[in-house]
Amino acid sequence: MRSIETFRDLQTEAAAWRRYLHENPELDYRVHNTARFVTEKLASFGINHIETGIAETGIVALILGEGGDGPTIGLRADMDALPILEASNKPWSSKIPGKMHACGHDGHTAMLLGAAKYLASTRNFKGSVALIFQPAEEVELPSGGLRMVQEGIMDRFGISQVFGMHNSPGMEVGKFGICDGPILGSQDDFDIVVKGKGGHAAKPHEAIDPVVIAAQIIIGLQTLVSRNTNPIEALVISVTKFNAAQAYNIIPDRVEMAGTVRTLVPVLRDFAERQILAAAQGIARGFGADVEFKYRRSVPVTFNHTEETNLAIKVARDLVGPVCVDNKIKPRIGAEDFSYMLEARPGAFILLGNGSTSGLHHPAYDFNDEALPYGIGYWVNLVETALAV
């Protein structure tokens, strides 16, 4: 187990990579320049086995330990930015208006590169490490993590366990947070069209007003959460779109609504899909209207496995001391597509303190480079612990 001081030397170099990536953000699967940058760095560290073009722009690089045969563990970073106009006013602000690294994936990529440089030069472990750089974490389905799994990276590279990390603004630099079981929520989306009968706004009795019916459906959906699910099991149903007529004096013949369902309990997705339809249909039919309904399953619950979570806790505690590792953080309801890798293999996802920067996806957010040695140190010590010679 190496101390955090070991990794401070890498901070300046990793910060330079991070700031280059920050200045040059790319979206979704189109992270071509980022992937080229990552590939060139990996090659310069003496890593020979680099496979590119997985899920279009994803990369898997293998570092073989010098400690003999052993399993392969996967470490994952995401590379994509967000369609946001940056307002951080940092000297390394985005050069591309309307695109920015507002989720710290520039930092995630730089930390995995830093670990790659260290591990490639020391190779003090058995078996091998698969460095997974994925595109398109932030996109609608199919996202990059899902596609890399679908393209067979787990079997192809013989990966037996996977580990992920995300920075956490508001948590002090030098601290880690993790929990066993669900750590981040699932994300599903739905569309409801209420089909009534349009007419003149002054003659509601001649119409079937889908606006009033849709309003009742919205309240009904909130009642599903408050009255039909266990209060200690988290479920969020939010209606986020509502489109009706564009006039003062017209009752439209249809209202289009859409929303999102988030939960930490996988079976509640089945409940939500079934009961949203039942509630919407029941309410609409009661007033002589009908509904069209679509439910789209997106990112599953990010579910940490016990054995790998305990390993992650041990590694983090050894690096920063037990008081700086919260091993029972409250799960967060935001979704993360590393969940697909955790469905494919056992593993653990950990949060890394990023200090007092703005929140994720905020225009003023900037990854805090002080966190780089902690992330690099976590990766290196995880490998040297999981694959101890």
> Which residues make up the interface to Ni ion (CB under 5 A)?
103
The least CB distance from residue 246 to Ni ion, in Å, is 36
The least CB distance from residue 321 to Ni ion, in Å, is 27
Instruction: State how far the Cα of 269 lies from the Cα of 275, in Å rounded to an integer.
Output: 10
21 or 239: whose CB is closer to Ni ion? 21
254 or 262: whose CB is closer to Ni ion? 262
103 or 119: whose CB is closer to Ni ion? 103
The least CB distance from residue 360 to Ni ion, in Å, is 6
Q: What is the DSSP string of 199-246?
A: EETT-GGGSB-HHHHHHHHHHHHHHHHHHHS-TTS-EEEEEEEEE--S
**Dihedral pair phi/psi, residue 65, rounded to 5°:** -75, 160
Instruction: State how far the Cα of 28 lies from the Cα of 157, in Å rounded to an integer.
Output: 24
218, two tokens: 């919205």
Instruction: State how far the Cα of 140 lies from the Cα of 251, in Å rounded to an integer.
Output: 33
272, two tokens: 């939500």
62 or 360: whose CB is closer to Ni ion? 360
The least CB distance from residue 239 to Ni ion, in Å, is 25
Closest-CB residue for Ni ion?
Answer: 103
76 or 117: whose CB is closer to Ni ion? 76
The least CB distance from residue 82 to Ni ion, in Å, is 9
DSSP label at residue 226: H
183, two tokens: 């750590």
**Dihedral pair phi/psi, residue 7, rounded to 5°:** -100, -5
Instruction: State how far the Cα of 82 lies from the Cα of 209, in Å rounded to an integer.
Output: 39
